[in-house]
Amino acid sequence: MKLNTTGLFLALSVTSALTSQAIAANRVNLDEGAERSQLISISELVEQHQFETTASVKLNNDISKTKLQQMYKGIPVYGESLVSTASALRSAESFSGDLITGIEQDLSDVMPSISENESVSILAQHWNHDLIKVSQPERNLVIWLDEKDTAHLAWQVSYVVYAKDPSRPYAFIDAKSGAILDTWDAIAFAQGTGPGGNAKTGRYHFGTDYPAFDVKEVNGICSLDSANVETLDMKHQQAGGSIHSFNCYENTSREVNGAYSPLNDAHAFGQVVFKMYKDWYQTAPLTQKLRLRVHYGNSYENAFWDGRQMTFGDGATRFYPLVSLDVVAHEVSHGFTQQNSNLEYKNQSGGMNEAFSDISAAAAVYYHTGSFNWKIGDQIFKGSGSMRYMDTPSRDGKSIDHAKDYRQGLNVHYSSGVYNRSFYLLANTQGWDIRKAFDVFVLANQMYWTPRSTYDQGAVGVVKAAVDLGYCVDDIVYAFNKVGVNAGALTGQGCKDIPTDRPPLAAFDASVSGKQVTVTDRSSDDKGIVGHQWTFGDGAISTQPNTAHTYNAAGSYTVTLTVTDTSGQTNSSSQSITIVDNGNCTAPLWDAGTIYLKGDKVSQAGKNYEAKWWTQGEDPTQTGTWGVWRDLGACQ
């Protein structure tokens, strides 16, 4: 679509990518505060670029937000969108986000050389899956930007393999060459009456202890099917399944692994989740009816979202059947994320994806019962434990409480701890509760998060959502600051009864080159910062606002900045960095997040290596004789 820009002009920073000298795609930030070295009307930009509306939200103040997917010659530019703000009087008043320009410099045409079916075969071959076992293949032609913002014509491909350990390979495949540009496993795990519960929660009854659930009745036969939710009995198979039916109106099927009726629990709690999204946000969690598949496989101790539906195992020795309200809400909300921000299920975005599902679980329990104990999965966890702890994620021994503990390749269930704790802190801030905190995370997911959002970028999106809703920005900035995430400066926007002398907020940027780290202060305070104290993890300190430090040895270090304001109040922020001694090597240093193709050369620990085939994340020093990397010897 084209935006209606009658009488509307916006001052924008427009780089040389908008001129004939542009040589590649370029990012132009449209947020307020972007540098404005050149001025151009928004109407002129719209004439040069194409957008399609993907979502719209109307706020209580007669302001509407519209998410606009950027297109290029009718093809979506993956992960790139703008958010427009409009009032009842004007069609568009401002824009937020990045605009990609100069795509034509990278792509001479948009005709694929690889067919969509060939792309599925390429992905299946890479993951060693037989095509006959592939279910639900999806292929979409997109413009995909690499880390340098070079545009590629690509097939966005995924499918599901149902097995003892289900998987959902997801990839971007170059539509010209067939090369795999990026890939990962995107499987996201983790009015009738009748019994529910398990040996830990105790037996309860839908229709007495909890409201009855909606069913379909035909000639005295009821089925677990309603306007918004359908529940299938998989009968311990990995494929197939059918909507469960029973003689109206009491369903007692069927006890398994200490639970009284997982079918009833799943169906009833699916309806609770749907009603929460509808009551609070006037939207359905998914664009399609919720499909819940129960009794999957034999002794399957997990639950997952496969891109279309939610599936729940019966558990075994560690778990009761995984159909508690928080688990159901968690899996449904993976679908909400996929159909809104589509956060990639890896890296920091994957942690955010998992955290949003946990946050949704907290919201659903709060919606249903009026309280929440900050434990995920405790009602289906045999024994006294829990799957995750949102107040202190590290209690499980694997999750992280702070962004400084994040490392490349960390399991997304463990990296979710950063956002889980920030949500806990926000919901327990004076003037907030779980519902209010969920408001800003939902709107951020709908409007401001993108597939590759980082912790910091996601937090900025939550702040933007708070501005939209008129909520206190500073409370969000503080909540994220306590977990090492930079959500921006303290502005006081939307805040009431602001203290006259607030503590400072420490924040900084760090960049590593060789053995040197350069740090730049980004801290803020309402009256000004008068002191800086840097520690670099090797005994070195500095009191300069901005400085650089050179390490003597390779290793992992924690850099901490402590700032002091005019009243003597302090605040600290930390980041983890890795220093690698690469000796005299000239080849690029290996990076766990980079995709390498056959023939690519890297260096690591003083040696050069060459890729034998496509790879991502395999450390050259650990590859072995039959691994992907060929040892080329020591750097000279």
* CATH number of the domain within which 150 lies: 3.10.450.40
Task: Please write the tens of the pLDDT for every residue from 368-389.
Answer: 999 999 999 999 999 888 999 9
Say which CATH number the domain at 561 has: 2.60.40.10
Q: What pTM did the predictor assign?
A: 0.78
Burial of 500 by CB count in 10 Å (0-12 exposed, 13-18 middle, 19+ buried)? exposed
Same domain for 202 and 150? no
Question: Is a pLDDT exceeding 70 seen at residue 9?
Answer: no
Residue 429: φ, ψ to 5°: -80, 145
Residue 37, pLDDT above cutoff 60: no
pLDDT exceeds cutoff 90 at 11: no
Q: What confidence score (pLDDT) does residue 264 get? A: 94
In the chain, the percentage of residues whose pLDDT exceeds 70 is 92
> Is there a single domain that holds both residue 515 and residue 565?
yes
Q: Exposed, middle or buried: residue 60 (CB in 10 Å: 0-12, 13-18, 19+)? A: exposed
Catalytic entry in 331, 344, 354, 368: 331
Q: What is the number of alpha carbons within 13 Å of residue 617 lying toward its C-beta?
A: 10
What's the pLDDT score for residue 619?
80
| CATH code assigned at 621 | 2.10.10.20
Strands of 426-515, DSSP E: 508-513
* Percent of the chain residues past pLDDT 90, beyond the cut: 58
Q: Are residues 329 and 209 in the same domain?
A: yes
Asked if pLDDT for residue 7 goes beyond 70, the answer is no
Q: Which domain holds residue 78?
A: 16-105
CATH number of the domain that residue 356 is part of:
1.10.390.10
As a whole number of angstroms, the distance between CA 90 and CA 463 comes to 24
Please give the pLDDT value at position 612. 85
Structure tokens at 168: 């959902």
pLDDT at residue 617, as a whole number: 73
Is 331 among the residues known to form the active site? yes
Range in 28-42, 139-153, 392-406, 435-449 with the lowest mean pLDDT: 28-42
CA distance 412 to 434: 23
Whether residue 494 is contained in a domain is answered as no
Q: Does a structural domain hold residue 322? A: yes
CA distance 270 to 278: 12
pLDDT in tens, 477-487: 999 999 999 99
130 shares a domain with 67 = no
Nearest CA among 104, 109, 188 for reference residue 141: 109
Q: Within a domain: residue 351? A: yes
Whether the predicted pLDDT of 21 surpasses 70: no
Closest CA to 562 of 522, 533, 530, 535: 533
CATH number at residue 60: 3.10.450.490
Judge if 68 and 176 occupy the same domain.
Answer: no
In a domain, 586, yes or no: no
51 in any annotated domain: yes
Averaged confidence pLDDT in the chain: 87
Q: How many domains does the chain fold into?
A: 6
Average the pLDDT over each of 126-130, 356-360, 501-505 and give the range with the smallest value. 501-505
- Tell whether 487 is covered by a domain: no
Q: What is the pLDDT of residues 545-586, one digit of tens each?
A: 999 999 998 888 999 999 999 999 999 998 888 887 766 777
Over residues 19-37, mean pLDDT:
55
Model confidence at 39, pLDDT cuts 50, 70, 90, reads: very low
| Confidence grade of residue 191 (pLDDT, cut at 50, 70, 90) | low
Amino acid 526: pLDDT: 79
Q: Tell whether 590 is covered by a domain.
A: no
Examine the fold and report which residue of 338, 357, 377 is the final residue of a domain before the chain moves on.
338
- CA 480 to each of CA 69, 426, 635: distance values in angstroms, whole numbers, following the listed order: 28, 8, 43
Residues 36, 155, single domain; the answer is no
CA 337 from centre of chain: 7
For the question of residue 413 being annotated catalytic, the response is: yes
Q: Residue 36's pLDDT is what?
A: 37
Among the residues of 224-346, which ranges form H helices? 262-281, 325-338
Indicate whether 449 and 364 sit together in one domain.
yes
In a domain, 163, yes or no: yes
Of 122-136, 410-424, 598-612, least confident by mean pLDDT is 598-612
Q: CATH number of the domain that 286 lies in?
A: 3.10.170.10
Indicate if 353 and 477 belong to the same structural domain: yes
Question: N- to C-terminal Cα distance for the chain?
Answer: 56
Catalytic residue among 330, 413, 532, 549: 413
Condensed to tens digits (0 to 9), the pLDDT of residues 82-121 reads 898 887 666 666 788 888 989 999 998 999 999 999 999 9
Same domain, 327 and 206: yes
Q: 213: which strand partners?
A: 192
Give the pLDDT confidence score for residue 593 in this predicted structure. Answer: 66
pLDDT surpasses 90 at 256: yes
466 and 403 fall within a common domain: yes
CA distance 443 to 194: 36
Same domain, residue pair 37 and 88: yes
Q: What is the DSSP string of 493-557?
A: TT-SS--SSPPPB--EEEEEETTEEEEEE--B-SS-EEEEEEE-SSS-EE-SSSEEEE-SS-EEE
Question: Quick check: 284 pLDDT over 50?
Answer: yes
One domain for residues 447 and 358: yes
pLDDT confidence of 529, banded at 50, 70, 90? very high
Nearest-angstrom CA–CA distance, 402 and 562? 16
